[in-house]
């Protein structure tokens, strides 16, 4: 099987032009088929503050009311997605921007109300694998934002880490998939106060220890959960670290079973 690189990039990278452009150049230079998944949460929160829309988070996940959904649709699928696609086109990478609704790419189910009402938040139900395979076979590089749909006309906010993981799992039947979670740190840190306290390898046992010690929390929780879900369902490699790791041997955190 040919190698497929699936790269998720976080909001702090997207907001920093000095980091974003070299990252996109590195992505464009990746050999073989590739998919980019992005959030945009930092920019969405900035615009929410400007517009007086409350920002509500729970365990690193955004609670999404109707006003918030309208806002993030414009930010995620519009400004952020199209800016990334335009930049990649300028770097000779034939990118195509997608939400989950485009081409019925990714369907989701609205999260049931339990202890927390997340609003218009969706959990991935299915990935249109033939659609993505067709795009990749044509030499296109999908750029997916953090929006899915329910197949009945409703857009849903869906965690970008989860989208990347579910894409990796779905396409692991056709490709040897490497999944990269790129953000502003070297990887998973033993201490947030010590930026050099990188944990280079995390297996299932180490993951439980870190959870018990409350070293992993908030925004890192979805990444770690999705990393192990992906590995358990056929993905070959999962790495967490700085954007440079996709094109160099810079230290990062490797997730293993």
The continuous run of DSSP H or E covering 150 comes out as none
pLDDT at position 191 is 86
Domains of the chain, CATH where assigned: 3-255 (3.40.1160.10)
The continuous run of DSSP H or E covering 65 comes out as none
pLDDT at position 194 is 87
Please give the backbone phi and psi of residue 65, each rounded to the nearest 5 degrees, phi first: -85, -175
Specify which residues 156 forms β-bridges with.
148
Specify which residues 181 forms β-bridges with.
8, 240
- Sort strands 34-38 and 141-144 into parallel, antiparallel or unpaired: parallel
Burial (Cβ within 10 Å: 0-12, 13-18, ≥19) of residue 61:
buried
- How far is the C-alpha of 215 from the C-alpha of 255, rounded, in Å? 16
User: 134-160 burial, b if ≥16 CB within 10 A, otherwise e?
Assistant: ebbeeebbbbbbbbbbbeeeebbbbbb
pLDDT at position 219 is 72
- How far is the C-alpha of 5 from the C-alpha of 14, rounded, in Å? 19
123-161 residue pLDDT tens: 999 999 999 999 999 999 999 999 999 999 999 999 999
Q: Which two tokens stand for residue 119?
A: 């609003």
**In this structure, how many other beta carbons lie within 10 angstroms of the beta carbon of residue 163?**
29
Q: Which two tokens stand for residue 219?
A: 């925004």
**Mean confidence (pLDDT) of the chain:** 94
User: At which residue do the structure tokens 């296109």 appear?
Assistant: 140
Contacts of 209 (CB under 8 A, 6+ apart): none
Q: What is the pTM of this model?
A: 0.94
Q: Tell me the percentage of the chain whose pLDDT exceeds 70.
A: 99
- Average pLDDT of span 44-54: 91
**In this structure, how many other beta carbons lie within 10 angstroms of the beta carbon of residue 70?**
15
- How far is the C-alpha of 145 from the C-alpha of 35, rounded, in Å? 11
């Amino acid at each position: 099987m040919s190698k497929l690189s699936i790269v998720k990039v976080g909001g702090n990278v997207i907001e920093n032009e000095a980091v974003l452009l070299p990252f996109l150049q590195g992505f464009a230079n990746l050999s073989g088929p590739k998919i980019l998944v992005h959030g945009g949460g930092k920019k969405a929160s900035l615009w929410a503050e400007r517009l007086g829309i409350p920002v509500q988070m729970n365990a690193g996940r955004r609670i999404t009311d109707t006003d918030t959904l309208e806002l993030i649709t414009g930010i995620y699928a519009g400004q952020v997605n199209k800016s990334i696609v335009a930049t990649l086109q300028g770097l000779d990478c034939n990118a195509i921007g997608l939400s989950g609704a485009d081409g019925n790419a990714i369907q989701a189910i609205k999260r049931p109300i339990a202890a927390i009402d997340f609003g218009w938040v969706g959990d991935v139900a299915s990935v249109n694998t033939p659609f993505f395979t067709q795009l990749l076979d044509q030499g296109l590089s999908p750029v997916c934002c953090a929006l899915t749909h329910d197949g009945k006309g409703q857009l849903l906010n869906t965690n970008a880490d989860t989208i990347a993981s579910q894409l990796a799992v779905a396409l692991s039947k056709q490709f040897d998939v490497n999944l990269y979670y790129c953000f502003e740190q070297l990887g998973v840190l033993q201490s947030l106060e010590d930026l050099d306290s990188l944990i280079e390898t995390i297996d299932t046992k180490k993951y439980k220890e870190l959870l018990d010690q409350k070293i992993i929390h908030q925004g890192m929780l979805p990444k770690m959960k999705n990393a192990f879900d992906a590995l358990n369902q056929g993905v070959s490699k999962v790495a967490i670290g700085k954007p440079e790791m996709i094109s160099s041997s810079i230290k990062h955190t490797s997730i293993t079973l």
